[in-house]
Amino acid sequence: MNLMTAVILGLVEGITEFLPISSTGHLILAANILKTPQTEFLKSFEIAIQLGAILSVVVLYWKSFFMKFSVLKKIIAAFIPTALIGLALYKVLKSFLLGNSMIVLWSLAVGGLFIIIFEIFYRQKETAIEDIGSIPYSKAFLIGIFQSIAIIPGVSRSAATIIGGLILGLKRKTIVEFSFLLAVPTMLAATAFDLVKTAASFNAGQFVYLGVGFIVSFLTALAAIKFLLYFIQKHNFIPFAVYRILAAAVLFMVLF
């Protein structure tokens, strides 16, 4: 890896983290296009720089974390199943799933098709939950289970969480914002757990690359969050679904 690669991957992460198109999948594909070797450091880099994007949520939603205990409790309830499943499947993620472009491409395409079908038939109910603090603990827990599906690269954490929340009866803006908030403990835990296991093997130059990717993803994600909140006021997720399918088709021809 070099400095330019770290910047590019930081941009990719910041743009894609909160959109329903899979940031991890895009990082894996971008690394392949840039011909960056799939080393243990790159896999840890792809996990760690997501924390930069996630911290942009803390900047924009700090009141929800530190001032609204009812919201924080629902985030914790949703985080528990994700943490348990992620911990159980960590070795599978690092040894088989991360770096596997074929899995990413299939996940992008199948996920895009599922989103299109879902959006065609989805109708928001008048009783849809509007306030995050009013989400029942049972539904918060189930949203966490939906999020854990995104351990498969290409699925998209935000897509799995948002679609799951819509199925469970939350308003679109509500589940989008809850997805933002839930990302904070999820990625903080994932990054901390991975770095504890791997950081000792990194050299000084690699820590510089981590820092650059972290900062770039943080700044880019601030704009991405604001874009998505504006976008969902007038549109559903079908445009993102079409992009997923087209991107999978084009990248399959490029990479294979």
Among 52, 53, 55, residue whose Cα is nearest residue 211: 52
Q: What is the pLDDT along the chain (256 residues), one digit of tens a residue?
A: 889 999 999 999 999 989 999 888 888 888 888 888 878 888 888 878 888 888 898 888 887 766 778 888 999 999 999 889 878 877 777 677 766 788 889 999 999 999 999 999 999 888 999 999 899 999 999 999 999 998 888 899 899 999 999 999 999 999 999 998 998 888 888 788 777 878 778 888 888 999 999 999 999 999 999 999 999 988 999 999 999 999 999 988 887 7
User: Whole-model pTM?
Assistant: 0.85
Domain boundaries, the chain: 3-255
CB 99 within 8 A of CB 29: no
**What does 223-253 look like in DSSP terms, one character per residue?**
HHHHHHHHHTTT--SHHHHHHHHHHHHHHHH
Contacts of 79 (CB under 8 A, 6+ apart): 144, 182, 185, 186, 189
